[in-house]
Amino acid sequence: MPFLKYADAIYVGGEWEKTDRREAVINPADESLLIEAPVGSARQVEAAIGAARHAFDRSDWSHLPVAERQKILTRFLDALDARKGAIVDMIVAEAGATRMLAEFLQYGIPMKHARRTVELASRPAVTPLPVELTPNAQGRTTLGTGVVSREPVGVVAAISPYNFPFFLNVGKVVPALAVGCTVVLKPSPYTPMEALILGEIADEVGLPKGVLSIVTGDIETGKLLTTDPRVDLVHFTGSDKVGAMIQAQAAPTLKRIVMELGGKSALIVRSDADIQKAAAAGLMGFTTHCGQGCALTTRHLVHNSVRPQFVEALKGMLTHIRIGNPADPAVNYGPLIREVARKRTEDYVAIARDEGATLVSGGKRPEGLDKGFYFEPTLFDNVKNDSRLAQEEVFGPIGAVIGFDDDDEAIALANASDFGLSGAIYSADAGQAYRMALKIRTGGVSINGGAGTMQSDAPFGGIKRSGYGREYGEDGLNEFTYQKVIGFHAE
């Protein structure tokens, strides 16, 4: 299936450039070859940075009226919607997402966010400061005030992972362009197509040359982006280990960094919770996209009085999981991205057993699926909160059930983590759940299922080893700007 028009080139400064190297991109569901993807050279990466720098410093892009950029980006999003079917197929094939997940979460939610981001770009760029009255040397009173101007930060290096590629590519590119930045986007080598398609859309809608470049490559490509002094901001999503490397690489040039990193988020189930609803949330917390999600709630902190019922309910729900090729609409659970991810998951099963946890379900490769990187959804009970399974991000389909006896203990367990990205509480007492949510050290908490969607105006991000900075909403838009104060007075 030909997903891309330019499958043998990368997008540099508004031009398609062929590359000398190729790297196989395979379908994780059946290990079939999708494309021999182009791999950018150091020269091409540097050229992309140079084009972005020139477009920001010398072109009109950053100085266009906001309404003009909004028109261009609306055309950009309209063009993506016109290709929705093909993009959803691409997400299924390249990222291994189930068809429902690809359509509604991997495509629908980021497009909803992007439309809202374009709307938010019309917020006032200049806001007034309060008036101050100050006695002056002439014996009169100076009338002083000023304004705060929000201005684009400059050249953005956007680096995205393999788990939600289209979602995160759009979530980085659109807000950066909306405020007048220029962007060099580097996708994961596992999922380059969901980035390169944005170059085709840029061509189609006439995005000015140099405003968006898309380069492919490995760790060295990323290092060129994070160390080049022409880059003003690195916007990264990925693991905490790679985030630490990026922070060190960017330090000599004192770049701005926004990092959304890993998580080991806690689902708290109080004794008065609706067990069926809590278990359903717990199921999604480690089976969604085969556990490959940074904000998934993989630690289940359950009141000991209801823990047996919770575990049994969850065990029963796992029997309804249908594992297989996600191209089949009846399948609700697909593969991990590559063999290395499956092996890592297997290793954590062995670690959990060695640590004394009780295997409730799963724990092995499913029978009858000889091709593809499948692993059964796996649930452990009697997990200790200080164990490796409870503390380290698996990024695979393993849920860990941990008991507690009172609310204070649940809060302490939730906070006893190097991560702080997400969280959830199930309780019949919404007010008490809210009090608990205020005490949990994390970037977000949903109560009894939250808003029912990922809200486009809600800032998303974490603390501790889950990163810093925020995405989406006005806060996310502002990450791509800096503040300038302009003062003036009258006497």
* Catalytically annotated residues: 260
- Give the torsion sign (CA, 314, 315, 321, 324): positive
Q: Which residues contact 52 (CB under 8 A, 6 or more apart)?
A: 13, 155, 156, 182, 183, 184, 210, 211, 213, 230
Q: For helices 275-287 and 307-318, what crossing angle results, to 10°?
A: 50
Contacts of 400-403 with C-beta under 8 Å, sequence gap 24+, read: 400/298, 400/299, 400/300, 400/352, 400/357, 401/300, 401/302, 401/307, 401/310, 401/311, 401/314, 401/360, 402/299, 402/300, 402/301, 402/302, 403/301, 403/302, 403/303, 403/304, 403/307
The span from the CA of 394 to the CA of 255, in Å, is 30
Cβ atoms 161, 467 nearer than 8 A: no
The span from the CA of 222 to the CA of 228, in Å, is 10
Contacts of 316-321 with C-beta under 8 Å, sequence gap 24+, read: 317/279, 317/280, 317/283, 318/283, 318/287, 318/361, 318/362, 318/377, 318/379, 321/287, 321/377
The DSSP H or E segment spanning 403 is strand 398-404
